[in-house]
Amino acid sequence: MTDPGDFDAAWLPDAAFRAVGARRSLVRGGPDLLADTVHRELADACARFGGEAVRGADAGGAGLVLDLTGDNPADEGFTLGRADGVTTVTASGGRGLLYGLFHVVRLGEDAFAGDLPPRTHRPALATRMLDHWDNVAVHPVTGQVERGYAGGSLFWADGEARGDLDRVRAYGRLLAACGINAVAVNNVNVHATEARLLTDRLGDVAAIADVLRPYGIRTHLSVGFATPMLLGGLPTADPLDPAVRAWWAAATARVYEAIGDFGGFVVKADSEGRPGPFAYGRSHADGANMLAAALEPHGGTVHWRAFVYDHRQDWRDRSTDRARAAYDHFTPLDGRFADNVVLQVKHGPMDFQVREPVSPLIGAMPDTRLAVELQVTQEYTGQQRHVCWLGPMWSEVLRFRPAGGTSAGRLADGLVAVSNAGDDRFWTGHPLAQANLYAFGRLAWDPEADPRAVLDEWIALTHPGAPARLAEGLHAILDGSWATYEKYTAPLGVGFMVQPGHHYGPSVDGYEYSPWGTYHFADRDGVGVDRSVATGTGFAGQYAEPWAKLYESPDTCPDELLLFFHHVPYGHVLHSGTTVIQHIYDTHFEGVAEAEEARRVWAGLADLVEPERHARVAERFEEQLRSAREWRDQINSYFLRKSGVPDARGRTVH
């Protein structure tokens, strides 16, 4: 078992295993790679806390029995019960046994108290995947990790694979402990060096797969659509060309020779300048199905991203709406994708803003497999310099019912997220941003889970045995942090008021006259984008009822999304009873005050937190406050000048 050494163990410190490590444990069944992992975890815990771990013997005297009853690697479920002083985990597959062990670890002593009637636990979503936007070679613009805020890559450094994979092994352990079962190890923007991971650098990918496999994690690759031209010397990448199809089939077969349980490909095509099937007059279904045909004999899957839009838009043209793009491109293709294609859809119609409606594409393609894509890395939510726990946002998305029936989380085939982990000692740069990574895994397992209960799980696992004052303080800091961030940044569904390029800090008009299609249309009369059917871009009409009717009118549109769907006067009265302009002033002052209070609470926990961890968070709070004040002053000043309406409370607006 890997010792985390000089990097932080996140939510699996040694003390989290005290309850299982102090008892006699028995692992039965196998041989099985993951059952062996379970036994090693128990043996290490018992060595620390005085228990005993036995493999394949009689259960006499055991307080914990983990029983592998079959050989079904696809079955990730497990049954937990306790009777006659013995806690039993039963699973028909090794992954289920591993997840059962980590469930017992989460329960701690509660897993060994009284009787527990047998209860079966099974993930709601089959695929729970992290996409790493990691580059093998350092990119001149995006660096080693695109949108990475936690140091360098776990897998790559300066053009080479990392030789020591102990940290990758520890990462796989953390992911398994929260239910994640798949990882794509390179950037969706596939550059020349990264393209070679499919061919002559495949051995590096196989080495990563070897250390992730014992934790039930399948390895995936992002691939470029034009790779047959780049690496195969072909004159075309036309998905209907027989030579192109043959090249992909042969390349894919070689991948499976090296990595027998390889998961498949992630593809970004015809998006933000990346090559795709449009160049040949073909559809996205044509492109995805060509790759699906290459993967199908081996059991692999194509994750085809639906992030396709015009990024060369004329800002003068108010009829073109980036929010419409995914729906317009893909709904005509419903039913035309192969069975092993999963359309990967961003949870909102724009780009991971702090507040967006749920994408209307979710629920609009009943004959196509869909995965919902989240962004754990905090590109637009503070870049892991600000505390912004996103569990409540993701829960809202996953509980959303596109047609008033089944929730988005239950409609999806999988949940995918852009990872926020790097080689920083604390994994995520900001130690408290670990809570986002953990919450993603747990909500992918159960989209209906209470996010606040998940937060308390993370707190208890990360600080086992901590006094109530620490748990309560951490909960208070994190639980409202998304709302706080929204208050001092983007009001009422307006997004992209950020510095262009790196996207950190305020720039109200930073993208207002750009080709990226990200506008707020603030003028002297009002603010917001008219996306109604009656007078605007028609985006509201992409939703099924009851949402289309709700979003169509400013009188019924929820306050938090008003400016996403409507251009309204500054004096428009919200359902809250305040005007738009006063809401902007009030929330920006409130957001700064709440950030100041969170900093105060953290400072009061110094005696309960390891000094280096406390110092790192304290330093991040100073930057968060500086940035929050800048957001407040720039936003309030901008809208004071636009509207001419002073703050009714008489506060200083610079």
For the purposes of burial, counting CB atoms within 10 Å of the CB of 507, is it exposed (0-12), middle (13-18) or buried (19 or more)? middle
Reading the block at residue 632, the tokens are 């407040």
**pLDDT tens digits, 100-124:** 999 999 999 999 999 999 999 999 9
**Among 41, 194, 296, 379, which one carries the catalytic annotation?**
379
Q: Looking up tokens 């109530």, which residue turns up?
A: 468
**Which option is the CATH number for 4-121: 3.10.20.30, 3.30.379.10, 3.90.190.20, 3.40.50.150?**
3.30.379.10
**Among 146, 351, 552, 586, which one carries the catalytic annotation?**
351
Residue type, 67: D
Q: Is domain 486-529+567-643 given the CATH code 3.90.1330.10 in the classification?
A: yes
Is 4-121's fold the same as 486-529+567-643's? no
- Inform me whether the pLDDT recorded for 2 exceeds 70: no
Q: State the pLDDT at residue 6.
A: 56
For residue 378, what are the CA distances in angstroms to 383, 387, 505, 506? 4, 10, 13, 15
Q: State the pLDDT at residue 358.
A: 98
Boundaries of every domain in the chain = 4-121, 127-462, 486-529+567-643
- Inform me whether the pLDDT recorded for 4 exceeds 70: no
**Among 272, 448, 523, 622, which one carries the catalytic annotation?**
272
Average pLDDT of the residues of the chain: 97
Q: Using CA atoms, how far apart are residues 440 and 179, in angstroms rounded to an integer?
A: 9
356 is catalytic: no
- Inform me whether the pLDDT recorded for 451 exceeds 50: yes
6 is catalytic: no
Sign of CA dihedral 159, 164, 166, 167: negative
Q: Tell me the CATH class for 127-462.
A: alpha beta
- Inform me whether the pLDDT recorded for 76 exceeds 80: yes
| pLDDT classification of 1: cutoffs 50, 70, 90 | very low
| pLDDT classification of 404: cutoffs 50, 70, 90 | confident
**pLDDT tens digits, 495-526:** 999 999 999 999 999 999 999 999 999 999 99
Q: Using CA atoms, how far apart are residues 204 and 193, in angstroms rounded to an integer?
A: 13
Please tell me the pTM assigned to this model: 0.97
- Inform me whether the pLDDT recorded for 58 exceeds 90: no
Please compute the mean of the pLDDT values over residues 628-649 and round it to a whole number.
98
Q: Yes or no: say if 80 and 87 are a contact pair by the CB < 8 Å rule.
A: yes
160 is catalytic: no
Q: Using CA atoms, how far apart are residues 362 and 356, in angstroms rounded to an integer?
A: 14
| pLDDT classification of 3: cutoffs 50, 70, 90 | very low
